[in-house]
Amino acid sequence: MPPGKFIHSAYTSALNVLNFCIAVIPITVSDKNLDTLNPNFQPLTDRDRRNMASYCS
């Protein structure tokens, strides 16, 4: 998640309450010229749209 773009997601709350470790460890390099948005992308919900918008801004 880009800094300052956090959107609360309830599905991780249960894991936090149970004290499970949650981490994402980057193991590759991203390239915005190679990792482009699919032109047919349609968000399923408003939250999905906001999440994608946070990466495209």
Q: 1-56, pLDDT tens digit by residue?
A: 566 766 666 666 666 677 766 677 777 777 778 878 888 989 999 988 888 887 76
Residue ranges per structural domain of the chain: 1-25+42-57
Q: 38-50, pLDDT tens digit by residue?
A: 889 899 999 888 8
* Residue corresponding to tokens 């906001």: 50
Q: The whole model's pTM is what?
A: 0.42
Is residue 1 within 8 A of residue 57, CB to CB? The reply is no
